[in-house]
Each structure stands twice: as structure tokens, then as C-alpha cells.
């Protein structure tokens, strides 16, 4: 665990994997908040993303060149991300956010290291 300060830029809130158990809680919360989202499976992992990006997701395929795939995935924005007028981001389902969101920036795992803020050791 590291002492980490998040600047709430929202760049990590894109392509979010979650578990089936988390999905049930998130689905209930999203319904209460009137937020629509789509659940899908990508690389054997459950993920969610906004309905408006469905076509973009459908365009992803394993034959896609790496740079195009990376750009497409990076352009996905989590349906629960909220950005205020000055660009500070927050999570609409903060209390129900998936474990991966809780760990991001808090772990030394290479997939969970924030690329925008250096963690203080």
C-alpha cells in the first residue's frame, strides 16, 4: 500500500472490470440514479460502459491493430464518471464502485498504478 494523492482527473475511469457480485449492487444503484449502462464480456472479463459507446465497443475485435485497439479502449469513459465545470471528477456510485476502482493508485500492481500521479513511498 502506498500513500497516494488522487488529483481526480478521471483518466483512469474508463474501461472497468467488475465481478458478478459487484454487478448486482451496481445495477441497483444505477437504477435508482437513472443511469443506463451496458454489461459486456471482453477478454473473459465482465465490463461496463455507457450505452452511447455500444457501437464503439462492438467495433473492437482481436484483429484490430494494437494502436487502434489501445486508442479505442482509452476513449471509453465509465458511465458513472461525473466531471464538474472545472474538470474535477467524481464517481456517481462511489460507495458501490468495484474493487478495482478502490485499489487503483493504492497498489504496486502494474495495472493499478496511476500513470499521472507519482505515489509517495
- Contacting residues toward ligand SF4, per CB under 6 A: 6-13, 16, 78, 80-81, 91, 93, 97, 101, 104-105, 114, 116-117
Distance CA 57, CA 85 (A): 28
CB of 31 to ligand SF4, least distance (A): 15
**CA–CA distance, 33 with 23 (Å, rounded to integer):** 15
Looking at the Cβ atoms of 29 and 69, the one nearer to ligand SF4 is 29
- Closest approach, Cβ 113 to ligand SF4, in A, equals 9
Which of 68/74 has CB closer to ligand SF4? 74
Grid coordinates belonging to 6:
488522487
Give the nearest distance from C-beta 27 to ligand SF4 in angstroms.
13
Across 45-79, b (16+ Cβ under 10 Å) vs e yields ebbbbbeebeeebeeeeeeeeeeeeeebbeebbbb
CB of 63 to ligand SF4, least distance (A): 27
Side by side, the strands of the sheet bearing 16-17 are: 16-17, 45-50, 37-42
Let me know: does 35 contact 96? Beta carbons within 8 Å. Answer: no
Which is closer to ligand SF4, CB of 68 or CB of 94? 94
Cβ closer to ligand SF4: 65 or 95?
Answer: 95
Amino acid at each position: 500500500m502506498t500513500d497516494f494523492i488522487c488529483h481526480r482527473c478521471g483518466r483512469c475511469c474508463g474501461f472497468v472490470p467488475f465481478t458478478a457480485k459487484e454487478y448486482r449492487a451496481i445495477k441497483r444503484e444505477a437504477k435508482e440514479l437513472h443511469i443506463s449502462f451496458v454489461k459486456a464480456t471482453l477478454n473473459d472479463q465482465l465490463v461496463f460502459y455507457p450505452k452511447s459507446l455500444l457501437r464503439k465497443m462492438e467495433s473492437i475485435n482481436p484483429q484490430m491493430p494494437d494502436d487502434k485497439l489501445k486508442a479505442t479502449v482509452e476513449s471509453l469513459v465509465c458511465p458513472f464518471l461525473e466531471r464538474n465545470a472545472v474538470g474535477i471528477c467524481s464517481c456517481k456510485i462511489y460507495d458501490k464502485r468495484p474493487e478495482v476502482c478502490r485499489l487503483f493508485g493504492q497498489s504496486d500492481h502494474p495495472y493499478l498504478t496511476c500513470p499521472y500521479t507519482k505515489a509517495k513511498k
